[in-house]
Amino acid sequence: MASSPPQPLTRTVLAATLLLLLHNAAARADGASPAVNPFTAKAAFIRYWNRKVPNNRPHPAFFVAKLSPLPAADSASFPSALPDIRASLPALCSKAALLCPGPATTDAASLVASGRRGGGPFKGYNNANFSNYGTGGVAGTDSFQKYSPDLNIAADSFRRYGRDSSGRADSFTSYEDDGNVVTANFTSYAGGATGGSGSFAAYAAETNVPDSTFTNYDAAANGRGRSFASYSQEANHGEYGFSGYGKNGNGVRETFKSYGNESNVLASGFANYGQSANGATDTFTGYGVEGNVPENRFRSYGAGGNAGVDTFKNYRDDGNVGDDRFTSYAKGANGGAAEFQSYGNSANPGSTIFKGYGEGTNPNHHIGFKEYAGENNTFKGYAKSGVDFKGYHNTTVSSSTAAALTVSAEAAASMHHEHLKWSPEPGKFFRERELVAGNRMPMPDIRDKMPPRAFLPRAIAARIPFEPNAVSEAFGLPLDTALGKAVASTVAECERAPSKGETKRCATSAEDVVDFAVEVLGDDIVVRSTASTAGGGGRVQLGAVAGMDGGRVTRSVSCHQSLFPYLVYYCHSVPKVRVYEADILAADGSGEKINRGVAICHLDTSDWSPAHGAFVALGGKPGEVEVCHWIFEGDMTWTVAD
């Protein structure tokens, strides 16, 4: 799109520019914020700030650093229509410092696609699509090592992998570890393969917002063995799905070890698992152990199978709440066996529903539960024979049912574990009385885990409707990827009705952030954030502590980043808080100041969930205790100026 001819500068603009130049000179003198080119979107916002917040206080460097770096000419010529915005990528993403899906690496992918029979090993491989890989391969080995490690946005796709191969072994070592917003799709994996084996080791370990899908996995395979070791260990807020897993397979053996252990809010879906398979053997060991709010869905599991054996060991042990669904499990199966050992020994119980369990016309099956514990469990429509419960503990069953069940003391005791992996990091929440000079305390890792992005200028952000389909079109972002799902989640959270006493707004530009803060607090305000990440993840000592607004109970506006292609902040205000600034000193007794922390204390927690991590860490119940926390890197809080 051609840009408009330059317009002559008015007296107002010239005056504003002169004032900004003078401000830059002053900033360089007092070290407040770096000098700003007056002909940029960043400079335009600073002029806006000065009009809305006329208290002549320095502009904080952490906020200025988030402003759009777009030159004025690019801002003025920015297209309005979504297809034109899409056409301007990826140049816009670079100039405006946005988070955009990058093109897949194609060199090795093209080589593999043309070779058709594989050609590993692959080492240090990033972001690629493999189509028709290893089809019809005979014997040999395919190996992928350090695949897409430590990427900000990983998008990997394997289609028709190992189809109709014979005796071939494939392995993935260190797949997408330490990634942020990763998407992996395996389609038609090892379909019709005979013999051979495969292994996934350290799959998606310590990832943030992962989204992986396995479709038609080992369908119609014969005598295959596959192992998943350390799957999604310590992953955060993601989804995994297995669809059409082992359908019509013969003698397929699958082993899942350490699946989703120590993860946070991880969802897994197994659909059409082992359907019509013959002699399938599956073992889940260490599934969801010490997970926080796991959600697992097993649907149409082992339906119509023959002589299949499934074993679940240490399922959800020491987990925190969560939600599990087993629907249509082993329906119509013949001679099948499923064994659950140590199921649901959660530290804080969630809910479990078994529906249509072992139903069908073939009574020749056995399902056993050993040391099954939990609350909110529902069994509907399960087979009346061939199902054995041992050591069952459920506080919600009727008295007549409870009398017929044996209670496991070990299972009951495990319901009250504390300080597990999913427990809040030490120092994430604390009491107000701890904010005193000289106190030594743990400080959580306050690093900004979000991908680096900048604000869009308000005029540009307004041209992109704040809804998933429009964002998808503008940024070429498929909604079935991890980032696409994050966009939809952000929009849904922004559209959620405010909680009791909360005033909220999602700010899609820096101007929106300032406007909301001014509406709530007035125009004489200050924005603060913890100065750096120094001291995070260790013990610190507090120096001087000062309460903002004279230490009185007040209102504040806190803004938290959301995952989006450009900066979007969830800003909200809740009543009855106190805000503090504190010098953070090294804990070695030297008195060295290493940071300047900002903390907020919520004095009214009566509307918080009883399962909130703050009560796990501090004890107490909603409304009984106040809860304080540090403002993390990347977030901010606004208060009335002292």
Is the pLDDT confidence value at 501 over 90? no
The answer, yes or no, to whether residue 516 has pLDDT greater than 80, is yes
Distance, CA of 32 to CA of 412 (rounded, Å): 58
Q: CB of 210 within 8 A of CB of 235?
A: yes
Chain Cα centroid distance, residue 321 = 18
For every residue of 272-283, DSSP letters joined together read STTTT-BS-EEE
In this predicted model, which residue has the larger pLDDT, 533 or 130?
Answer: 533
SS3 content of the chain, % helix, strand, coil (to 5): 20, 35, 45
pLDDT at residue 124 is higher than 50: yes
Q: What is the pLDDT of residues 220-242, one digit of tens each?
A: 778 777 777 777 776 777 787 78
Q: Are 167 and 139 in contact (CB under 8 A)?
A: yes
**Vertex 457: Cα angle to 453 and 459 (nearest 5):** 145
Residue bearing tokens 């506006």 = 557
Amino acid at 336: G
| Beta carbons within 8 Å of 607's beta carbon, 6+ residues apart | 499, 500, 501, 622
Q: Is the pLDDT reported for residue 520 higher than 80? A: yes
The b-or-e profile of 91-103 (16+ CB within 10 A means b, else e) is ebbebbbbbbbee
Task: Give the span between the Cα atoms of 611 and 293, in whole angstroms.
Answer: 10
| Nearest partner of 57 among 556, 515, 525, 516, judged by Cα | 525
Token pair of 577 as six digits: 């808080």
Q: Which residues pair with 560 in a beta bridge?
A: 570
Averaged over 168-196, what is the pLDDT?
Answer: 78
Domain boundaries, the chain: 135-390, 429-453+494-640
SS (H, E, C) 381-414: CCCCCCEEEECCEECCCCHHHHHCCCCCHHHHHH
User: Who's near 207: CB < 8 A, 6+ residues apart?
Assistant: 176, 177, 178, 179, 180, 182, 232, 235, 236, 238
The DSSP line for 147-175 is: ESTT-SSEEEEEEEETTT-BS-EEEEEEE
Q: Is the pLDDT of residue 484 over 70?
A: yes
Q: Compute the average pLDDT of residues 157-178.
A: 79
β-sheet bridge partners, residue 547: 580
pLDDT(10) > 50: no
Three-state secondary structure call for residue 167: coil
User: In the 3-class helix/strand/coil scheme, how is 535-547 assigned residue by residue?
Assistant: CCCEEEEEEEEEE
- The one-letter code for the residue type at 228 is F
CA–CA separation, 588 and 36 (whole Å) = 39
Q: Decide if 335 contacts 365 (C-beta within 8 A).
A: yes
Q: Do the beta carbons of residue 464 and residue 473 sit within 8 Å?
A: no
Backbone angles phi, psi at 474, to 5 degrees: -65, -35
Looking at the chain, the whole-number percentage of residues with pLDDT higher than 70 is 80
Q: What is the pLDDT of residues 244-262, one digit of tens each?
A: 777 777 877 778 777 776 6
Measured CA to CA, the distance from residue 195 to residue 141 in angstroms comes to: 13
Q: How far apart are CA 313 and CA 242, in angstroms?
A: 19
Q: How far apart are CA 344 and CA 186, in angstroms?
A: 30
Tokens representing 177?
Answer: 């570890």
What angle (nearest 5°) sits at the alpha carbon of residue 430, between those of residues 429 and 434? 155
Mean pLDDT of the chain: 78
Q: What is the pLDDT of residues 294-313, one digit of tens each?
A: 788 887 777 777 777 778 77
How high is the pLDDT of residue 402? 34
pLDDT tens digits, one per residue of 607-622: 898 878 899 889 999 9
Instruction: Yes or no: say if 455 and 185 are a contact pair by the CB < 8 Å rule.
Output: no
What strands, in cross-sheet order, belong to the sheet with 182-189?
A: 129-131, 154-161, 182-189, 211-217, 236-243, 264-271, 295-301, 323-329, 351-357, 377-380
Strand partners, 340: 312, 369
Asked if the peptide bond before residue 121 counts as cis, ω within 30 degrees of 0, the response is: yes
Report yes or no: 602 and 526 within 8 Å, Cβ to Cβ.
no
Alpha carbon 552 to its chain centroid, in Å, reads: 36
In this prediction, residues 319-335 reach a mean pLDDT of 76
Reference 284, options 359, 228, 236, 324; nearest CA is: 228
Determine how β-strand 309-315 pairs with β-strand 337-343: parallel
Indicate the Cα dihedral angle 269, 275, 280, 282, nearest 10°: 10
Work out whether the CA dihedral 229, 230, 235, 237 comes out positive or negative: positive
Residue 98 three-state SS: coil
Candidate ranges 107-111, 280-284, 579-583; pick with highest mean pLDDT: 579-583
pLDDT, tens digit, 9 for 90 and up, residues 425-477 = 899 999 999 999 999 999 999 998 888 899 999 999 999 999 999 999 999 88
Is this prediction's pTM over 0.85?
A: no
Mean pLDDT of 125-153: 75
Give whichever of 6-10, 14-18, 290-294, 389-393 has the largest mean pLDDT: 290-294
Nearest to 292 by CA among 249, 263, 324, 323: 263
